[in-house]
Structure 1
Amino acid sequence: MEGGSVGSAPAPPPLHPAIAPLSYLLGRWRGQGEGGFPTINSFAYGEELIFSHSGKPVIAYSQKTWKLASGEPMHAESGYWRPKPDGSIEVVIAQSTGLAEVQKGTYDAENRIVTLQSELVGNASKVKEITRVFKVVNGELSYVVQMATVITSLQPHLKALLKKV
């Protein structure tokens, strides 16, 4: 068999120049987070994020969470991140709840920060706005998600700290 033994993974595609500034995100991240909101009880969760690419100018994103005590699945979402050479970024995310987000924002490759603001939150009866800020500091990925609903202004909702595995 040409190109390696049976069962070996194909070589990863070359990195597209458009996603090179965010290549530090690529891979699998795992850790824990905590959530809350004025209208719900606070909760803790385990999480895995995966950022991958196919050689195209886009990063595939997938996320899943679970209850820490039982391992029972909680939330999942997936989507695509499209960084632009001018430092802007477009992100689309579909959540397991049926909610869809179209977000725009900026990235700072030097400081490893991505800031996103919802342009559209679709199929959501109560959620009106979502912001997300991702940072990598000392090799750890952290994020903060804020949310606004029909009865609340923008409030902290989720935060997590993940390590690359």
Structure 2
Amino acid sequence: MTAGTPIPGSGDEAIRLAEERAAATRARNLPQFTDMPIPGDTANLREGANLNDALLAVLPLVGVWRGEGEVVYPTIDGPFRFGQQITFAHDGRPFLIYEARSWLLNEAGEVIRPAARESGFWRPQPDDTIEVLLTHNTGVVEMYYGKPIKQTAWEFETDAVIRTATAKDVTSSHRLYGIVNNGDLAYVEERAMVGQPRQPHTSAHLMRVVG
């Protein structure tokens, strides 16, 4: 290996890879309405409102992430592949705006149809606790509590689950998010529902496309 060549897995190599990714994503942001009388949402730390100091513990998440995952459960015929886009944005206040949109894929990677959607807020607190409120298109509302487990990983557990009369019988969920070595976002979720004990349900690996 020649002098000055970054060693794979080293800090220098991670910085180089981050710069390569940023060259393609740093100029992108959410669509903006310039006539809004209040600050717009931004998923790019270089643009829009300054990041609130309360969000420093979740700063690495700010952006738009897109990739693929897998959904599995004893009550479905899967596992099934899905595509997903997750947005973490802010408007200068001490919370993140969260949205996830998914679509089912066939074995060839072609889109079959839209799938699950969820939206909500991540609310870091002074004691490092993070409150997460999520609403699902399926009629489920979840309240999570969690904390960073290191600078680039976050773990959450449901404290309460509310369901409409037509929603599935979801009773609890556990999620783990992390920025992996190459700078991508990965997560795993375990879920207890429809009479089954809590077990793996979804996982995904997403690449940054904005921010």
State whether residues 22 and 109 of structure 1, in contact with CA within 8 Å, keep that contact through their aligned partners in structure 2.
Answer: no
Instruction: Determine whether 1:149 maps to 2:149.
Output: no
Instruction: Determine whether 1:134 maps to 2:171.
Output: no
Instruction: Determine whether 1:90 maps to 2:127.
Output: no
The alignment yields a C-alpha RMSD, in angstroms, of 1.8
Provide the rounded CA distance (Å) in 2 between the counterparts of 1:156 and 1:125.
17
| Unaligned ranges ≥5, structure 1 | 1-6
1:60 aligned partner, one-letter code:
I
Deviation at 1:8, TM superposition (A): 8.8
The count of residues paired between Structure 1 and Structure 2 equals 158
Instruction: Determine whether 1:106 maps to 2:147.
Output: yes
- Aligned ranges for residues 25-36 of structure 1 at < 5 Å? 25-36=61-72
Q: Secondary structure at the match of 2:92?
A: coil
Deviation at 1:150, TM superposition (A): 4.9
Decide whether aligned partners of structure 1 residues 145 and 8 sit closer, same or farther in structure 2, where only a CA change above 3 A counts.
closer
Structure 1: which 4+ aligned runs deviate by more than 3 Å?
7-11
State whether residues 52 and 60 of structure 1, in contact with CA within 8 Å, keep that contact through their aligned partners in structure 2.
Answer: yes
Percent identical? 35
Provide the rounded CA distance (Å) in 1 between the counterparts of 2:104 and 2:162.
26
Deviation at 1:63, TM superposition (A): 0.2
| Unaligned ranges ≥5, structure 2 | 1-31, 35-39, 41-46
Provide the rounded CA distance (Å) in 2 between the counterparts of 1:133 and 1:146.
9
Decide whether aligned partners of structure 1 residues 157 and 77 sit closer, same or farther in structure 2, where only a CA change above 3 A counts.
same
1:143 aligned partner, one-letter code:
Y
Pick from 35, 41, 53 the counterpart of residue 77 of structure 2.
41
Provide the rounded CA distance (Å) in 2 between the counterparts of 1:161 and 1:70.
17
Larger Rg: 2
Q: Which moved more, 1:8-17 or 1:60-69?
A: 8-17
Q: Secondary structure at the match of 2:57?
A: helix
Provide the rounded CA distance (Å) in 2 between the counterparts of 1:101 and 1:26.
21
TM-score normalized by the length of structure 2: 0.71
1:122 aligned partner, one-letter code:
I
Provide the rounded CA distance (Å) in 1 between the counterparts of 2:115 and 2:62.
23
Q: Which moved more, 1:39-48 or 1:101-110?
A: 101-110
Instruction: Determine whether 1:62 maps to 2:99.
Output: yes
Deviation at 1:149, TM superposition (A): 2.2
Structure with the bigger percentage of strand: 1
Q: Secondary structure at the match of 1:37?
A: coil
1:47 aligned partner, one-letter code:
Q
Q: Which moved more, 1:67-76 or 1:133-142?
A: 67-76
2:170 aligned partner, one-letter code:
V
